[in-house]
C-alpha cells in the first residue's frame, strides 16, 4: 500500500463565507486526488514546535510556539 499526505489550509472570508466554503475546499482537494487514483483515508492534525528565533543580538527575537497543521491522508494499492 502506498500513502500520500497533503497539507490542507482552508481560507475563509468571515464577512461573506461560512464553514460550507471550507467543506467545499476540502471536497475539491479530495476530488483532485481521487481523480489521480488516490483514495481519501482521513484528515489528521499534526502539531509541531517552532523553534524560537534569537534575532540579531536579541533584537527582533521571537519566542518559540506550538503550531498545528491539517494533513489529508490518501492511499492506493
Domain extents for the chain? 2-76
Q: What is the widest separation between alpha-carbon atoms in the chain? A: 53
Lowest mean pLDDT among 6-10, 24-28, 35-39, 54-58: 54-58
pTM: 0.78
Confidence at residue 22, expressed as pLDDT on a 0 to 100 scale: 93
Q: What is the DSSP string of 8-22?
A: E-----TTT--HHHH
Confidence at residue 33, expressed as pLDDT on a 0 to 100 scale: 98
Confidence at residue 60, expressed as pLDDT on a 0 to 100 scale: 84
Confidence at residue 59, expressed as pLDDT on a 0 to 100 scale: 85
| pLDDT tens, position by position, 12-51 | 888 888 889 999 999 999 999 999 999 999 999 999 999 9
Main-chain phi, psi angles of 58, to 5 degrees: 85, -10
Amino acid at each position: 500500500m502506498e500513502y500520500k499526505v497533503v497539507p490542507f489550509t482552508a481560507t475563509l472570508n468571515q464577512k461573506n463565507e461560512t464553514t460550507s466554503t471550507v467543506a467545499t475546499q476540502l471536497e475539491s482537494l479530495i476530488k483532485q486526488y481521487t481523480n489521480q487514483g488516490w483514495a481519501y483515508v482521513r484528515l489528521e492534525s499534526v502539531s509541531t514546535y517552532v523553534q524560537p528565533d534569537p534575532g540579531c543580538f536579541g533584537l527582533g527575537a521571537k519566542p518559540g510556539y506550538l503550531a498545528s497543521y491539517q494533513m489529508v491522508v490518501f492511499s492506493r494499492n
